A = this chain, B = another copy of it.
Amino acid sequence: MDERDGMATMVETVRELAAGARQAARWLAGTSSRERDELLGAMADELLGATEAILAANSQDLAEAADRPAAFRDRLTLTPERVAQMAGALRQVADRPDPLGRGESWTRPNGLRIHRVRVPLGVVGLIYEARPNVTAEATALALKAGNAILLRGGSEAFRSNQAIVAALRQGARAAGAPAELVSLLPAGRESARALMTTPGVVDVLIPRGGPALIRSVVEEARVPVIETGAGNCHTYVHQDADLEMALRIAVNAKVQRPGVCNAMETLLVHREVAAAFLPRVGEALRAHGVTLRGCPRTRELLPWAEPATDEDWATEYLDLILAVRVVDDLDEALDHIRRYTTGHSEAIVTRSLEAARRFQEEVDAAAVYVNASTRFTDGGEFGFGAEVGISTQKLHARGPMGLEALTTTRYVVEGDGQIR
């Protein structure tokens, strides 16, 4: 079968799954808040009951991933505890307030009553990578907001995802709901392309994973997309910064969890404090196994740092690597950030109210920090609970996305014969 036939067949498969999801979403839109919460509870029960089957499938995935790096295998690995955590996540989402149904109403001079009500999007599509727990969490968030979901996970976790989705669908049946509320697409390039390029299949497509995945979705998608997670995050240490604080923040932002989108990738330091700060932060980071790539002025102070190229300023390492640049002043720091930011999270460490205000006003990012680590850009840390992802776009949702990001509004207008 040549590639084009393969693609055509895949588009058909996706269309069929989407038609089922669309109908299931219509059913779900007619349920009450309590019914949706009970549905999530039933799914949690089935998930726990299926623990053995899920772990068996997971061990098959792990066997095939034998030669992958440890960090990758760790993200892929499921244990009884992690399955229980997934079930717990389903229940936590069920306990959150219902995002649907709220709204404002007003009456126009001609007597028209206008209601703006919050309603589900319909069908949510998610393209994601290794971590199988995303399968359960994303399903919980989509369903809580009244949507059906089409999941396209990574091939490395395919068997695990199949087992998890089977349990979730069994939970739906047990609750008297259509199993088509959750569907898993085949893994691989073609299913992702079909999902991205077939209009009318999903109401929103959310890519969740590494920069390459997100770029390809944003570039190829012909359906509405919420761009997430590209985080080339900066921390700027101003000349008047509390250097103890700056040290704590810089080390935390880089090493506490280097593989995530809100980790720091570039450190900018005002030249007046470079000599006092860089040697200390350099040693601290080196002690955590961080490789530095520095500008010439950085390397005068830290000769052991590798030379940084323009490419380094633009790179999201997601690793124990940090680009370091000495800047003349706040303006140069702002220019650097303006040029290289991906609009995720940016931080300044300063004692100056004026510098803080300028940074807050001029940096165009989802989250702008003063004297705190960029690692806090997270639904849980912001107090939203589990998140769908972190939007780096400006339309619809920006920053950590809670349940409301999976809804839209509709105007319901009631009259008694009004005409224009």
- Write the residues of chain A forming the contact surface with B, with a CB cutoff of 8 angstroms: 26, 29-30, 106, 108, 112, 114, 121-122, 203-204, 219, 222, 224, 226, 242, 245, 248-249, 252-253, 256-257, 356, 360-362, 364-373, 375-377, 381-383, 393-396, 398-399, 408-420
**16 interchain pairs, CB-CB under 8 A:** A114-B382, A122-B364, A122-B394, A248-B419, A249-B419, A253-B419, A364-B410, A367-B410, A367-B413, A370-B415, A373-B418, A376-B413, A382-B411, A394-B408, A395-B395, A398-B409
| Given contact pairs A108-B381, A256-B419, a sample of 9 additional A-B residue pairs in the complex whose CB atoms are under 8 Å apart | A106-B383, A114-B382, A121-B395, A203-B394, A245-B416, A249-B417, A356-B414, A369-B414, A399-B410
Question: In the assembly, what is the distance between CA of A257 and CA of B418, in Å?
Answer: 16
Q: Is the CB of B29 within 8 A of A417?
A: no
A226 to B395 alpha-carbon distance, docked (Å): 9
Q: How distant is A99 from chain B, measured CB to nearest CB, in Å?
A: 14
Main secondary structure, interface of A, reads mixed
Given contacts A122-B364, A408-B395, contact A415 B112 (CB under 8 A): no
Residues of B within 8 A of A381 (CB): 108, 112, 420
Contact B222 A219 (CB under 8 A): yes
The complex places the Cα of A203 from the Cα of B364 at a distance, in Å, of: 12
Given A361-B30, A395-B395, check contact A414 B383 (CB 8 Å). no
Asked if A242 and B417 make an inter-chain contact with CB atoms under 8 angstroms apart, the answer reads yes
List of B residues within 8 angstroms of A108 by Cβ: 381-383
Given that A106-B383, A381-B108, A408-B398 are contacting pairs, would A415 and B219 also be in contact in the complex, using a CB cutoff of 8 Å?
no
Say which residue of B26, B356, B365 sits within 8 Å of A410 (CB atoms).
B365
Question: Pick the contact of A396 from B365, B395, B415 — CB < 8 Å?
Answer: B395
A29 CB, nearest partner CB in chain B, Å: 7
Check B226–A414 contact: CB distance below 8 A. no
Interface contact A394-B219, CB-CB below 8 Å: no
Q: Which of A252, A409, A420 has the most CB of B within 10 A?
A: A420
Q: Which of B242, B257, B413 contacts A372 (CB 8 A)?
A: B413
Contacts of A365 in B (CB 8 A): 410
Complex contacts, A373 vs chain B, CB 8 Å: 418-420
Q: Are A371 and B419 in touch, CB under 8 angstroms?
A: no
Residues in chain B near residue A245, CB distance under 8 A: 416-417
Which chain B residue lies CB-closest to A408?
Answer: B394
Chain B residues with Cβ below 8 Å from A369 are 413-415
Chain B: minimal CB distance from A199 (Å): 9
Closest chain B CB from A235 CB (angstroms): 11
Cβ B361 vs Cβ A394 within 8 A:
no
Give Cα A106–Cα B258 distance, bound, in whole angstroms: 28
Residue of B nearest to A416 (CB): B371
Chain B residues with CB under 8 Å of A372's CB are 112, 413-419
Residues of chain B with a CB closer than 8 A to A256's CB? 419-420
By beta carbon, the residue of chain B nearest A399 is B411
CA distance A361 to B410 in the complex (A): 10
Cα A414 to Cα B382 in complex, Å, equals 12
